[in-house]
Amino acid sequence: MNEQADLLLMEIEEHMQKTIEALEREFAAVRTGRANPALLDHVSVDYYGAPSPIRQIASVSVVEGNQLYVKPYDKSMLKQLETAVYASDLGLNPINDGVGLRLILPQPNEERRKELVKEVDRQAEEAKVGVRNIRRDGNHHLKKLGLSEDDEKGYMDDVQKLTDEFIEKIDDLVKDKSKELMQM
């Protein structure tokens, strides 16, 4: 076995795993009507001149199945938090109780759920393209190592097996998320 090729295989697997983790984060932000603090991950607030994610300047907790409560660590940030949530693409109307914000997530209608499933499919397809690009780059690097023809083919088969495994993981994630979206 070739040590460089083995390291390359491990690196390819690590990159593919990161693609899966990124997809899971994107899926967590897809609004299902169930409260999930990850929903606010892409919303940032101007905090002393620097855009900061909400979860860095406030605690976010699930109060009920469809409700989040955002409590800033610094009470003077409450108004900016409220403005940031209004300005986000979440379409939520925060309720300011003077201490924190209550965010009630309405149940999406059937048409909206179908749109969300399409969005999940699009995100999954992008992840699959990412995995395939990693495979292509990995195969390219393997060819540069100057391995024997048999070794090169063996390693490329390993890369293909990894690719198939990660594509299957993506399909499973999509199936689970689509099922979750349509069950509301």
Predicted pLDDT at 140: 94
Distance CA 86, CA 63 (A): 20
Among 1.10.132.20, 3.60.20.40, 3.10.20.600, 1.10.10.60, name the CATH number for the domain at 3-29+109-182: 1.10.132.20
Fold of 37-104: Gyrase A; domain 2 (3.30.1360)
Q: How far apart are CA 84 and CA 102, in angstroms?
A: 14
Give the integer Cα–Cα distance in Å for 171 and 45. Answer: 34
Domain ranges of the chain: 3-29+109-182, 37-104
CA distance 25 to 3: 33
Give me the tens of pLDDT residue by residue for the chain, a chain 184 residues long.
688 999 999 999 999 999 999 999 888 877 666 777 888 888 888 888 888 888 889 998 888 778 889 999 988 888 988 888 888 877 788 889 989 999 888 777 888 888 889 999 999 999 999 999 999 999 999 999 988 999 999 999 999 999 999 999 999 999 999 988 887 6
Q: Does the predicted TM-score (pTM) go above 0.85?
A: no
pLDDT for the residue numbered 2: 83
What pLDDT score was predicted for residue 123? 94
The closest alpha carbon to 18, from 137, 174, 169, belongs to 169
Beta strands in the chain (DSSP E): 44-47, 50-53, 58-64, 67-72, 95-96, 101-104
